[in-house]
Structure 1
Amino acid sequence: MKLIINADDFGITTKVSEGIIHGMKQGLITDTSALVNSKHFEKSSVMALEAGITAMGVHLNLTFMAPMLQASVVQSIVDESGRFYRKPGLIPLSYDAREVRAELKAQIEAFLDSGLTLNHLDTHHGVSLKDAQMLDLVMELAREYNVPMRRDDLLSPELSGKIAEAGIRSTDKLCGDPAVPSLQEPWLRGILDEYKDTDCIVEIAGHPGYADEELRSISSLVDEREHDLALLLNPALRDYIEEHGITLISYSQL
């Protein structure tokens, strides 16, 4: 078994970024993906580079804060205030695919301008699963930038298999429990037990980080992030992974 443990939302606040970096240097986090349109991304990218973290993914985003592009350029995917809708289901079905592609590409280009290396794409709130057209747009970008993408299609039976059919590198399995807002050790150990003797490449995605008052004002996940970080810093869990011959990798190694 090869295992990617990915920390979503790098850059949402500097404290979350600080926690993710700590988890990558001292714990089990092997990769992360950045919210590039966050006002904290620029500082967070500098923090990562200074810590020797040179590659990560982009957490492509259409549901948090404001777009990179002017709201007038992406009118079909923003509300009256010029900000993104908060959930994929609120994005109008009549959205303009050209506007979506332009915004997502702007996020990727801003990421590359930071000096970081792009090693995969995934999406905030799983927006790639909104519909088949949205998934196609993200897959087009993965092909254009020649990077892997998260296997979100495994969470949507009607879209399952499209990423593999497109020849895009990915994991064999994405594991998460949508009913629980944070990683739980019994569940995580169960995933390890299920796949430890297989050749599967598995991703476990979580939301580790340090919480602060700013985070409370912008995110529904606050204390849960500190819970995730503590779990992924647990040396007993690292011992368990090593004892069972599980190989920790990043998306850079796909």
Structure 2
Amino acid sequence: MKKVIINADDFGYSSAVNFGIIKAFQNGALTSTTLMANMPGCAEAIQLAKENPELGVGGHLVLTCGRPKTTGKSLVDDQGNFYHLDQYKQVRQSMTEAEIFAEWCCQIDHLIESGLNLTHLDSHHHVHTFSENLAITARIAEKYQLPFRNAFDLEKNLHLPCQKGIKGFQDLMNYPAIRDLTRSFEENRDACLAEIQAVLDKVVHEEITELMVHPAFVDEQLYFHSSFNVARVKEVAILCDSQTQELLAKNNIELFHYGNVSSVG
């Protein structure tokens, strides 16, 4: 069998994102998500997580979106917002590691103190894998004893205490037919499923692979604050489609989340 975790980023970003993720879990193949503690939909996402205890929920650490939960002055622009990713790259050297660490701890603590049993951690825009943040990532993993998403070969660059041996990491949806908004999934199902099959072909037997997705519905928060918005609706349709689930079964895919998968290796 092939062991797969299908994880949705950005839980808590907004109500529309929250309900797209929950639909993909309740009616589809989604098994896991990571929650943004600093975004407008956070409280709602926490409640939805409690109402859906079989959904694995981790923390989606944020440094490049929204506003911080701490008062770290080196982390924000003149309006008190985190720098966007393109700005972050220009100002990261002026940020203090102590303030980043404190902010990420505050985000995790908020989720834990809200009653969530976190399964794992990752980060918005994968910033936990950036070389300048690796020491902070190691401190976070040690403090909370949680595994981090192994994006961009993180485990080859850093020893972390609680990893699950998840060697594979793939984006399940970022391909031409799936991203084509001139045709619906229903109109172009065969091409979309062929792209998903190509990803499943990369999953190794008896190893664990995480497949990243971004299902969502669209509201003003998502539409006006994220450049990646309408395309997410198609991911909900794909994850909930019976032929997608048949394709997973045909490929001998066993679905897990970080909390119920046994470590490998």
TM-score, normalization: structure 1? 0.88
Amino acid at match of 1:99: E
State yes or no: 1:250 paired with 2:219: no
Secondary structure class of the residue paired with 1:247:
strand
Q: Which residue matches 2:194?
A: 186
The CA deviation at 1:43 is 1.7
Quote the Cα distance in structure 1 between the aligned partners of 2:54 and 2:89.
Answer: 34
* Deviation of 1:54 (Å): 6.3
1:189-208 map, 5 Å: 189-195=197-203, 198-208=205-215
Does 2:126 match 1:126?
Answer: yes
Sequence identity of aligned pairs in percent? 29
1:17 equivalent in alignment to 2:34:
no
2:78 to 77, 80, 83: 80
Mark the runs of 5 or more structure 2 residues left unpaired by the alignment.
180-191
Query: How far off its partner does 1:50 sit?
Result: 2.1
Q: Which amino acid aligns with 1:85?
A: Y
Instruction: Quote the residue 2:157 is aligned against.
Output: 162
Give the C-alpha shift of residue 147 in structure 1.
1.3
Measured against aligned partners, the alpha-carbon deviations of 1:28-73 in whole angstroms (never above 9, x if no partner) come to: 1110001110122012211221233564111100000110012xxx
Alpha-carbon distance in 1 for matches of 2:90, 2:35: 22
In structure 2, relative to structure 1, the CA distance for the partners of 1:120 and 1:81 (3 Å cut) is: same
What residue number does 1:175 align with? Answer: 170
Distance 1:12 1:92 in 2: 23
For 1:232 and 1:119, locate their aligned partners in 2 and report how far apart those are by CA, in whole Å.
21
Q: Is the 8 A contact 2:169 2:211 kept in 1?
A: yes
| Structure-2 separation of matches of 1:91 and 1:252 | 36
Please give the per-residue CA displacement for 1:166-225, whole angstroms capped at 9, x wherever unaligned: 3431411111289759675333211212325x2221111111011122321111111111
CA separation of 1:31 and 1:95: change in aligned 2, threshold 3 A? same
The residue matched to 2:82 in structure 1 has which SS?
Answer: coil
1:218–1:128 CA distance, 2 compared to 1 (3 A): same
Map 1:1-254; keep pairs closer than 5 Å.
1-53=2-54, 55-70=56-71, 74-87=72-85, 88-131=88-131, 133-154=132-153, 161-163=156-158, 165-170=159-164, 171-176=166-171, 180=175, 184-195=192-203, 198-254=205-261
Conserved 8 A contact 2:49-2:57: no
Secondary structure at the counterpart of residue 194 of structure 1: coil
Moved more, 144-153 or 119-128: 144-153
Count of residues in Structure 1 that have an aligned counterpart in Structure 2: 244
| C-alpha deviation, 1:24, in angstroms | 1.0
Alpha-carbon RMSD: 2.2
Q: 1:141: how far off?
A: 1.1
**Structure 1: gaps spanning 5 or more residues:** none
CA distance in 2, matches of 1:231, 1:138: 33
Give how far 1:136 is off.
Answer: 2.2
- Equivalent pair of 2:35/2:45 in contact (CA under 8 Å): no
Which secondary structure does the structure 2 equivalent of 1:174 belong to?
A: strand
- The Cα shift of 1:149 comes to 0.8
The alignment partner of 1:161 has SS state of: helix
**Matches of 1:65 and 1:166, distance apart in 2:** 28
Cα pair 2:31 2:55 within 8 Å, conserved: no
